[in-house]
Chain A
């Protein structure tokens, strides 16, 4: 069964707007990561947030983690056409051992110029 579920499945916004996508998971985790996948390509790591962290920033990205609700959100501010991609969360369950991340089904983001 899927550990992480992203919401929404698809999102379409205008360039310059903010994009928010959410990830919910089922079991307690060590870490949570967000990845981007451009069409037909491999995934690219965006940001890692540990279970004892609540918020993390990287450039135009802001990630929050609420372990009590078992959820995370990824905010992309001032979006650009180049942000068009699929975004995946990946969770590292406490029971998994050596970095066995479980990926969600992804949010497809389309940024319109």
Chain B
């Protein structure tokens, strides 16, 4: 099992560009999450999906959109990137046990 995979691993964007971060899990988990981690801070929840077909805002959703394509995949889209969105982005999934399994992260720089 690959667990939680994320693509790309690194990305550099110019202000105003758009991109989609991809996340997939092979553990048949219902819930999936997108977090961002800034230096010296913990993870902050951007969006989450409790089950296929549902999504909800987390703590910092502004500037982002998500799609729960199917049970395996949960993508995060930046429509018009801003320097404030420079961060490390983590995807996670969980079953009902609440333990979250994290991907390796995407390091995004917006110039």
Contact = CB atoms under 8 A, between A and B. Distances in A.
Nearest to B99: A45
Given A45-B101, A98-B31, A106 B94 contact: no
A40 B103 CA distance: 11
B102 A99 contact: no
A88 B102 contact: no
Contact of B102 (A2, A42, A92, A106): A42
Given A33-B98, A48-B98, A98-B50, A103 B103 contact: no
Interface residues of A, number: 24
A40 B99 CA distance: 21
Contacts, number: 59
A31 B98 contact: yes
B31 A42 contact: no
Interface in B78-111: 90, 92, 94, 97-105
14 contacts: A42-B90, A43-B92, A88-B42, A88-B43, A90-B100, A98-B48, A99-B94, A100-B58, A101-B98, A102-B45, A103-B42, A103-B43, A105-B40, A106-B42
Interface residues of B, number: 26
Contact of B103 (A42, A48, A106): A42
A44 interface: yes
B42 A105 contact: yes
Contacts of A60: none
